[in-house]
Amino acid sequence: MASINMIVAYVGIVGALLVVPCFSSDAPTPNPDDFHIVLAPAPVVFNYLEGCIEKLDPHCPELGEVLIGKRKDVDSDCCSALVRMGKRCHFSLLRVLPEVEEVYKPFSSVLHQRGVEIWNHCVRRVGNPSLIFS
């Protein structure tokens, strides 16, 4: 009788071991490309960027075209407004531009370099070489 109990126990254990692995599998690792979460800027940062845009906006409508290569250069009024706005504002705007404006997304990899070129051009044009970004 002990041998029948042993056989039943053995079959039960082997059966359990065969069934349990079927129900357990590794969870798939999420692909980071499947998620595009854009965090909204903090209100303080948003207010700062709005202030930057207000300083520049009426003087420099062509700046966007220069950034994406549709236009070669910015005029003197735009350069003066850009330098008055400041380097920090200029590069902060360049950082968020591809996230908030669809037209700039394809150019996100070159925006910083073009921004540096425009900044240096405007500083030379306005006449304050101490502000040149290198």
Predicted confidence at residue 37, as pLDDT, reads 61
pTM here? 0.62
For the chain, domain boundaries: 2-29, 33-131
Between residues 52 and 14, the one the model is more confident about = 52
For residue 15, is it left (φ>0), alpha (ψ between -120 and 50) or beta?
alpha
Across the chain, mean pLDDT equals: 78
Distances (CA, A) of 76 to 79, 82, 91, 98, 118: 5, 10, 19, 26, 12
For the cut 70, the answer to whether the pLDDT of residue 78 exceeds it is: yes
CB contact at 8 A, 93 and 114:
no
Tell me the per-residue pLDDT of 16-70, one tens digit each, with 9 for 90 and over. Answer: 555 665 555 565 666 666 666 666 656 777 788 888 888 887 878 888 888 888 8
CB contact at 8 A, 74 and 118:
yes
Predicted confidence at residue 88, as pLDDT, reads 92
- Best CA proximity match to 100, nearest among 56, 45, 62: 45
